[in-house]
A and B are shown apart, each in its own frame.
Chain A
Amino acid sequence: MAELTTKVLVIGGGPGGYVCAIRAGQLGLDVVLVERGGTDGGLGGTCLNVGCIPSKAIIHAAEAYAHAVEQSTTAPFGIRVERPSIDFARTIEWKDGIVGRLTSGVAALLKRHRVRIVQGHATMIDGKTCQVETDTGTDRIRAEHVVLATGSQPAAIPSLPFGGRVISSTEALALTAVPERLVVVGAGYIGLELGTAFAKLGSTVTILEAEDRILPAYDAELVRPVARRLKALGVEVLTATRASGLSESGGAVMVGERAIAADRILVATGRRARIEGFGLERLDLTMNGQVVRIDEHCMTSMRNVWAIGDVTGEPMLAHRAMAQGVVVAEQIAGHRRVFDAQAIPAVCFTDPEIVTVGLSPDEARKSGREVLTASFPLQANGRALSMAAEDGFVRVVARADNHVILGIAAVGAHVSELAGSFALALEMGARLEDIGGTIHAHPTLGEAFHEASLRALGEALHI
């Protein structure tokens, strides 16, 4: 048995874990990172291997194909395309190439910062020690600090356990052929992103949602353009509907009396923190329901045991995990830090995209404040029109008394790229006048943010 000692032990090589390890390495700390690998992981974690990145590649390819199909039928820009077809195996190959480039990039960064990577399944023995089953035997690693970054995994539902035709997002991103009939259970962002992509790729898609509307976590106004687009793509959306299970033959999903035939059933009802199978119970950490409880320092109830990312609960977003990873690494290096982000942007890569930062108008009002809110439609934005993407808007919410911005949201094609400027505005404590006084380049989608801020002040120019 090999014995290793280190200052920092990071369990999990996802966006939280690898960023924490890199930052700790930059700060001169001795770091060991344990990554178990497997079909749903590896360096880069869910995000790089079976989440953000591959899904964006598939979404992009699907969008390109849908464009080609559109040109071949209505030719809105006058481009003539004859009978487009897709070689999905090549699409997957291309996607895998991107994933490969990014994960080997992560490996190179870790190496450059002298992070030792141990491949294998880690089991915590106590708060300072873990045992790793590697290909070559068992390693025992002792560390002063342990960072739990084990991430999350797709949540299963009892009526449709994973297996056979019932797949999670992980398998959906590794399909070798486009399923003819796809049923998506759950109209959250994962279900909608993949459901929309497969609809564009040619699947007949039915989406089931237990709540009474799609994207229940977002306000109705933002979701409306997405619902319109789903309808236009021919996606059947059944809200307030629960699947009771598979049909007897297993070839259909039962919804009440109705059997919806499906080649694949994608269950995307959410993700669950990965808290089992690595000896977490031995640490006797205080839990917060099914996630590890942490304080503002990302410290668990045990001294020098830290936790970051999805294993600590919502919002389960890669960028949150990365920021937490940095905060933890710097604290271990002796700096005073706290995870005090004012705004964690959230993006749905649906069609069109949705980005939200901070409070919605209703949430802002619930805090008992007088608020100003204003939207600017992309129909009045030159850049949106020139991209044939006029459905959507940018909306700001600000305090009525001092005009400090409380929340920003947008729905529209490519609006995900505005997430940075939205988050910056909130982090800097910007007022409507600050945005109004900032020149936004013309013609860009960002002008809609400018105009929405001006409109909240009663000074909009282009509407």
Chain B
Amino acid sequence: MGIRIIKLPDVGEGVAEAEVVEWHVQVGQSVLEDQVLAAVMTDKATVEIPSPVAGKVLALGAEIGGVLAVGAELVRLEVAGEGDSEVAAAPREAVPPAAPTRPVAMPTPEPERAAPSMPVATTRTPAGPPRAAGEKPLASPAVRRRAREVGVDLRQVRGSGPAGRIGHEDLDAFLRGASGPAKAATRGANTDVETVKVIGLRRRIAQKMADAKRRVAHFSYVEEVDVTALEELRASLNARQDTTRLTLMPFLMLALVKAVAAFPDMNALYDDEGETIERHGGVHIGIATQTSAGLMVPVVRHCEARDLWDCAAEVRRLAEAARENRASRAELTGSTITITSLGALGGIVTTPVVNRPEVAIIGVNKQVVRPVWRDSQFVPRTMMNLSSSFDHRVIDGYVAAQFVQRIKALLETPATIFMES
């Protein structure tokens, strides 16, 4: 018998590390060749790693949520025959074989059954009995000062320390809304705290959003657009039975194609470390899509080469793929500008976060029929706001406004979207 180390394979171009989001095997389990060992998440796609050999699992290289570098030990298998010669010298990652049989510390009933990005939950109830009426809270000067700074009345906080002493952790629990009032609860206060580990897609979104907010100098601009003519056109096109039903999205996409031609800096990637702007000829539009796991941005590539129905069909296909977690890595990367739409939910204004390293994101708000003063009277018009954000480091406010005005002009006179200039 020998030992074979299965390393995390190269799972995609330029991917240096991946996060383990699911284990399909556990220590002690026998696996067959090609049996799936684990699911790992790279930039956005989830990849299943099969076993190249049959054997028995000795150790797992990471806990769920752990990040492994490409080439790091993923699974250690006991195999028939010789095994790896360099095993003895190979540095062990994370979990040694002697560790408890399950590397997953979370007391979920069946960790191996958890879906890739399902949050792993634990519950904790803060200790500490309620204080008697009139009793002064007991807390150190540092705790008292912090409570004062965050505006918490310590009489409301339960102390879990000796003699009900309130510590920093009790204050934390209270601030999370977990700790009940210190008075005897009359309606059975729920003091449960659920700790949800931020892993998988949610972690990637968190990193990406924080990164964007930290690095990009956001400038947002909102303008209202009269889409009455566009809606009439869309209705008449949709009335033709033989074609795919069109939403506003493909019109906006083609308007963008048209607009970026005059504003090449908008369809660009800003490398802030290299201090270069990469203007793209191809217009690859990211479509922000809500999935059950979180936000994904599938990309409609080369919109400049697509027509209205083509765009519509591609948006629909990609959205479905993303929602069903089938979207490939290629379908989730490479956008040069992004559209985000919360229009269906309502809302007057949004402040979209720029999808770094892109420099512009166009947000669509709800359409409403409103009285608009025209000539000498109010007329009902279908109005819609566009809320857009730009990276002000490379896009000046004036230019951003001009760009949005250009899109507005195109949408208000939809024929111009389709005219050769």
Tell me the A residues contacting B by CB distance below 8 Å: 335-338, 340, 399, 402-404, 427-429, 431, 433-434
Interchain CB contact under 8 A, A404 and B140? no
Q: With a CB–CB cut-off of 8 A, which chain B residues contact A433?
A: 162
Nearest-CB residue, chain B, relative to A402: B163
A425 to B145, CA, bound (A): 17
Interface residue tally for chain B (C-beta within 8 Å): 14
Q: With a CB–CB cut-off of 8 A, which chain A residues contact B165?
A: 429
Can you list 9 A-B contacts (CB < 8 A)?
Answer: A336-B148, A340-B148, A399-B163, A402-B163, A404-B163, A427-B140, A429-B161, A429-B163, A433-B162
Cβ of B141 to closest chain A Cβ, rounded Å: 5
Q: A336-B151, A337-B145 are in contact. List 5 more A-B contacts (CB 8 A).
A: A335-B149, A340-B148, A402-B162, A428-B140, A429-B138
A340 to B141, CA, bound (A): 8
- Chain B 136-163 interface mask (CB, 8 Å, partner A; 1/0): 0011110011001101000000000111
Interchain CB contact under 8 A, B138 and A404? yes
The answer to the question of B181 belonging to the interface, with a C-beta cut-off of 8 Å to chain A, is no
Interchain CB contact under 8 A, A431 and B163? yes
Nearest-CB residue, chain B, relative to A341: B141
**Which residue among A338, A403, A428 has the maximum number of chain B CB atoms within 10 Å of its CB?**
A428
- Chain B 82-98 interface mask (CB, 8 Å, partner A; 1/0): 00000000000000000
A85 to B151, CA, bound (A): 62
Near A by CB (< 8 A), chain B positions 93-150 give 138-141, 144-145, 148-149
Interface majority SS on A: helix, strand, loop or mixed? loop
Interface majority SS on B: helix, strand, loop or mixed? helix
Q: With a CB–CB cut-off of 8 A, which chain A residues contact B343?
A: none
Q: With a CB–CB cut-off of 8 A, which chain A residues contact B151?
A: 336
Interchain CB contact under 8 A, B164 and A402? yes
A380 to B163, CA, bound (A): 31
Interchain CB contact under 8 A, A427 and B163? no
Cβ of A322 to closest chain B Cβ, rounded Å: 15
| Pairs A-B, 3 closest by C-beta atoms | A429-B138, A402-B163, A404-B163
- Chain B 159-187 interface mask (CB, 8 Å, partner A; 1/0): 00111110000000000000000000000
Q: With a CB–CB cut-off of 8 A, which chain B residues contact A431?
A: 162-163
Q: With a CB–CB cut-off of 8 A, which chain A residues contact B162?
A: 402, 431, 433-434
Nearest-CB residue, chain A, relative to B162: A431
Q: With a CB–CB cut-off of 8 A, which chain B residues contact A404?
A: 138, 163
Interchain CB contact under 8 A, B148 and A337? yes
Interchain CB contact under 8 A, B140 and A429? yes
Q: With a CB–CB cut-off of 8 A, which chain A residues contact B144?
A: 340
Interchain CB contact under 8 A, B163 and A403? yes
**Which residue among B148, B151, B163, B164 has the maximum number of chain A CB atoms within 10 Å of its CB?**
B163
Q: With a CB–CB cut-off of 8 A, which chain A residues contact B149?
A: 335-336
A336 to B153, CA, bound (A): 12
Interchain CB contact under 8 A, B141 and A427? yes
Cβ of B171 to closest chain A Cβ, rounded Å: 14
- Chain B 400-412 interface mask (CB, 8 Å, partner A; 1/0): 0000000000000
